[in-house]
Amino acid sequence: MTADWIKGLCMQFDNVSEHPHFFKKAYKVKNKVFATLDFDKLKVSLKLSEIDQSVFCNFSPEKIYPANGAWGRQGWTIFEFYDLKSEMIEDAITLSYNNVQPKK
């Protein structure tokens, strides 16, 4: 898995745009961030529900963990994706997008 592959997953959804975010890239839907991607450290941060965050973190706590402080308590979860199954990352990105996209 590469950072470009993760970027492609993020960009596949409707109304997604890419923006600079410090030394990373942020992926937004309707001006709300659902993912940030660190191309250098091969990490993606995703906005998950509390339950989804718990499930993913329990699966592989050394590679998937809450962000520090309030960000982590709000559901932001870091995935060191270079050594995880692609299906897991695809599911997590889809959940993050669905959590952030405007409700119809």
Return the amino acid letter for 27.
Y
Question: pLDDT by residue (tens digit) across 53-97?
Answer: 999 999 999 999 999 999 999 999 999 988 889 999 999 999 999
If you ran DSSP here, which 8-state letter would residue 47 be given? E
Question: pLDDT by residue (tens digit) across 34-65?
Answer: 999 999 999 999 999 999 999 999 999 999 99
Its pTM stands at 0.91
Contact 77, 46 (CB under 8 A): yes
Sketch out the chain's domains with CATH numbers.
3-83 (3.90.1150.30)
